[in-house]
Amino acid sequence: MNTCSKCGHSTAAGETFCAECGTPLNGCRECGAPIAVGTSFCSECGTAVNGCRKCGQPIADGIKFCSECGTYVLATEQEPNVQAPEPSIQIDSTVSLVANESTAQPTSDMLDRPRSDIHFAAVEDKNPIIKWLLVISIFFIAIFFATVFFVGKTWKTDSQSNTSATVPASNASTASQVSTVAGVQEPSVVTGDIISEWTHPQHTETSGLDTDGNPIPKEVFDQVLVFAEVRLYNQSGPQLSLLNILTNATLPDGIYSSTAASQTDYDKVFLAWPDIPVPHGEGLPINLVLDPRQIIDGTFVSSFRLTKQQWDAHSNLSFSFNFRDHPTLVLTPHDAIIEQ
C-alpha cells in the first residue's frame, strides 16, 4: 500500500489520484508535474517526492513524525491533538484603577506592596488636604449665611422702628392720622388733637456774650415761633414712647420742617421774651411715655428762620408725632392760626 506524497493518505494499488486531497499519485504534490519512478525530487519545482508534506524533509518508511518540523506523516493513525497551553491573563481591576488615576509608571516598591496599598497609593497623600479644604469651606459658608440672616433681621427691625413724617396733601380742618411703616398703611392706636395754635414773628439780635460772659459774635436774624397746644391719647395697645415732633410748613419753594424744642427750651422762650403775647401753658415733654388709656396735654414751640413776609406765603401747616415702634401720627389744626 502506498501513501499520498502530499497528505499522507493511504492509497490502493492502481489509483491515479489521492482519494483524500486529489493529488496525482504519480505527480509532484506541489505542482502536479509527472514524477519518474525512482526520482527523489520534482524536476519542475524541486519538491521532495518522499518528503514531509509540510517542510519537504525526506521521510524514511515507517516514520510517523517528521524529524524537522514534527508534522504527523501517516494518515492511517489519528493525529494527536496537542495544544500548547495559552498564557492566562488576569486583569486586576484594582491595578487598572490606579493606572487610570495617575499617569506615573508603577515603581518596583509599588509592585511589591499588597494590592490594597497600590489601590490607595495615589490618593492617600491628598486626603488630608482635601479634608481640611472641605472643612474650611463649610466653615466660611456657615459664617456667610449666619451673617446674612442676622443682618437681614436687624435691617427689618430698624425699618419697622424708623417711621417717616408724612405731610398732609390738603388743608383739612379735622385731625388726620396718616401712618407709614415700611410703606404699608397701618391703623394707629394713638390719637390726638390740636387744641390751639399761635405764631409770633420775632426779630432777634443776640447780646454778643456767652453764658459765662465772654464776648462772642453777635447774630441778627428774623424768625417765626410756632406754638401748638396738643392733646395725645393712647387708645389701647402697649406703652408708647415719643421720639420727636416735627412742625411742617408748606411754602412756595417746598416743605420746611422744624423739630420742636424740649420742655426746658420751651420755658426759656418766655424767660428771653417775657412780653411775648402767647399763653405760657404747661410744656409737653418731648420724650414722654404714653401708657394705655392715658391722655396727655401740653404745649410745644418750633422755630423757622423766616421773615414774616416769607411765613405769610405758607399754604399748609401740620405736626408729625413720631413714636418708637409705632406709625407716625400727623395732626392738622381745627381752627385758624392765631397770629400774635
Does 34 fall in a domain?
A: yes
User: What pTM was estimated for this model as a whole?
Assistant: 0.45
Domain boundary among 50, 83, 116: 83
Residue 326 and residue 193 in one domain = yes
Query: Do 189 and 317 lie in a common domain?
Result: yes
Residue 130 lies in a domain: no
Of 83, 112, 139, the residue that ends a domain is 83
- The amino acid at 278: V
Q: Which of 83, 105, 124 represents a domain boundary (last residue)?
A: 83
Residue 211 and residue 93: Cα distance in Å, rounded?
Answer: 96
E strands within 99-182?
180-181
- Three-state DSSP class for residue 290: strand
Q: Is residue 101 part of a domain?
A: no
In a structure prediction context, what are the per-residue pLDDT tens digits for the chain, which is 340 residues long? 567 767 777 777 767 778 888 777 667 767 777 777 667 677 778 776 667 767 777 777 667 778 888 877 654 344 445 454 555 545 444 434 333 444 445 555 544 554 444 343 444 455 678 888 888 989 889 999 888 887 776 665 555 444 333 333 333 333 333 333 344 444 558 899 999 999 999 888 888 888 888 998 988 999 999 999 999 999 877 889 999 999 999 999 999 999 999 999 999 999 989 999 999 999 999 889 999 999 999 999 999 999 999 999 998 999 999 999 889 999 998 776 777 6
Q: Is residue 56 part of a domain?
A: yes
**CATH number assigned to the domain comprising residue 278:** 2.60.40.4110
CA distance linking residue 126 with residue 297, whole number of Å: 77
Same domain, 79 and 184: no
The domain total for the chain is: 2
Which domain covers residue 330, as residue numbers?
180-206+221-339
